[in-house]
């Protein structure tokens, strides 16, 4: 494997002031926290952040004889519906701000084996797609459920027509050799591990796209990288227990019809946890960046931060400019805790958060922080909110909610879009 090491150390801080535009948020019943208020914090060059890239393209090439498929070549076997998404548990977006959205089929609304987390999107030819991550549930989340060994699946969702939503689940896989590296593979409940590849056993809390590259947040490690031109067909497995290449050369993936192999990964120090990820911009619209957010609970002493990594035209993190760090402030001049999703452009950072006081049936909020402002601005947001994705062509900010039907006795899972300008 080819390893490239990027040592990114700050020499000087770059101070970027925002032109603050305060939009009036929906009224809230926020209680004052017991955290000390903070002085305004501006974004700066991130000090002591080191990024190491490991190229695994040779592993992906070893599967080339099975043939690669692009998104338009996949058979999408499930149907979603745009009807009823606003009636999901804790959905509290004001009617005037509702744009569009959908619910999964009944099985995916209710499954306790997987929870959706990350969301991104891209266009391919005449098609408009979303790509959404789900992580396998363990007994830590739901008693008696042991699905964590399957790692992460992604849903390729065709949203070209909201009246004809189709999708397919695809298993993320990595080189079987990575199983010996505890930073890349976590052993759990037993299954039949075959040759060639293994599951990607991470939380998959966020996902982003640039060109054909797909970036998935790995909470402790950094970023896993995939390629949407490298989907591969797998054979059926009625037992749903086998993963990898059989001795006869047949590929298995717990009965999933397609796999998406990992092409490489970034190990990033001094910026974890990597709870979410999205592409955005820096100080100019041409400055493309990957932004990651930290999920830190209010009970912790760590100050939550948002980190930005500059991309070149090939979608690779570069050494110069150095990565940036934002320390956003919430509406009551305290930390922005519980960050589940992040999108940043210019001098504005948008974050979906959970673990707040209940308002309009939800403990989630959307927080906007303008660099240099004394405090952020909060808006009501659906319960169980996760990752964020801005659809550049429309200006729609997409989000999704995670919980299974049984948790509240009614459907909670939905995927929805609002106009970013309504929160800007």
Which pLDDT tens digit goes with each residue over 146-182?
999 999 999 999 999 999 999 999 999 999 999 999 9
What is the arithmetic mean of pLDDT over 277-301? 95
pTM for this structure?
Answer: 0.91
Question: Looking at residue 96, what DSSP letter applies?
Answer: G
Q: Please, are residues 375 and 333 in contact by the beta-carbon 8 Å criterion?
A: yes
Between 267 and 22, name the one with better pLDDT: 267
Pairing of strands 213-218, 364-370: unpaired
Q: Please, are residues 336 and 10 in contact by the beta-carbon 8 Å criterion?
A: no
Query: Is the per-residue pLDDT at 342 higher than 70?
Result: yes
Query: Is the per-residue pLDDT at 267 higher than 60?
Result: yes
pLDDT at 238: 95
Measured between alpha carbons, how far is 134 from 390 in angstroms, rounded to an integer? 19
Which is nearest to 223 in space by CA: 214, 210, 233, 231?
214
Q: Virtual CA dihedral for 416, 422, 423, 424, nearest 10 degrees?
A: 130
- If phi > 0 it is left, if psi is from -120 to 50 it is alpha, else beta; for residue 254 that is left
With residue 225 as reference, give the H or E element that holds it: strand 222-227
pLDDT at 284: 87
pLDDT at 9: 37
Query: Is the per-residue pLDDT at 36 higher than 80?
Result: no
pLDDT in tens, 44-96: 889 899 999 999 999 999 999 999 999 999 999 999 999 999 999 999 999 99
246: Cβ–Cβ under 8 A, 6 or more apart, which residues? Answer: 194, 195, 252
Pairing of strands 251-253, 258-261: unpaired
Q: Please, are residues 208 and 266 in contact by the beta-carbon 8 Å criterion?
A: no
3-class state of residue 420 by DSSP: helix
């Amino acid at each position: 494997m080819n390893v490239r090491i990027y040592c990114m150390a700050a020499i000087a801080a770059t101070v970027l002031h925002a032109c603050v535009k305060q939009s009036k948020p929906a009224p809230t019943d926020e209680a004052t926290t017991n955290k000390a208020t903070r002085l305004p914090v501006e974004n700066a060059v991130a000090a002591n952040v080191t990024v190491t890239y490991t190229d695994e393209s040779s592993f992906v090439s070893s599967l080339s004889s099975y043939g690669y498929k692009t998104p338009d070549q996949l058979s999408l076997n499930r149907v979603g519906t745009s009807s009823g998404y606003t009636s999901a548990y804790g959905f509290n977006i004001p009617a005037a701000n509702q744009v569009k959205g959908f619910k999964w089929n009944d099985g995916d609304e209710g499954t306790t084996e997987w929870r959706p987390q990350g969301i991104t999107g891209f266009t391919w030819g005449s098609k408009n797609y979303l790509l959404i991550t789900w992580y396998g549930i363990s007994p830590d989340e739901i008693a008696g459920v042991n699905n964590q060994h399957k790692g992460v699946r992604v849903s390729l969702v065709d949203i070209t027509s909201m009246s004809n939503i189709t999708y397919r689940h695809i298993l993320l896989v990595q080189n079987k050799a990575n199983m010996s590296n505890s930073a890349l593979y976590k052993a759990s409940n037993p299954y039949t591990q075959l040759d060639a590849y293994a599951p990607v056993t991470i939380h998959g809390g966020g996902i982003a796209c640039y060109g054909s590259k797909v970036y998935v947040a790995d909470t402790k490690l950094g970023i896993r990288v995939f390629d949407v031109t490298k989907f591969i067909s797998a054979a059926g497995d009625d037992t749903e227990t086998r993963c990898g290449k059989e001795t006869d050369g047949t590929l298995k993936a717990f009965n999933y019809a397609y796999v998406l192999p990992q092409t490489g990964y970034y190990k990033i120090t001094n910026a974890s946890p990597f709870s979410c990820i999205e592409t955005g911009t820096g100080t100019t619209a041409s400055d493309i960046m990957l932004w990651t957010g930290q999920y830190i609970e209010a009970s912790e002493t760590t100050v939550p931060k948002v980190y930005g990594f500059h991309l070149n035209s090939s979608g690779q993190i570069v050494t110069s400019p150095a990565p940036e760090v934002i320390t956003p402030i919430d509406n009551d001049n305290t930390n922005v805790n519980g960050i589940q999703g992040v999108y940043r452009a210019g001098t504005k950072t948008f974050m979906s958060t959970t673990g707040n006081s209940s308002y309009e049936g939800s403990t989630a909020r959307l927080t906007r922080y303008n660099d240099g402002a004394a405090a952020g601005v909060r808006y009501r947001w659906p319960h169980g909110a996760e990752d964020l994705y801005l659809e550049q062509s429309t200006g729609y900010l997409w989000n999704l909610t995670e919980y299974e039907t049984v948790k509240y006795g009614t459907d909670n899972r939905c995927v929805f879009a609002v106009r970013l300008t309504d929160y800007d």
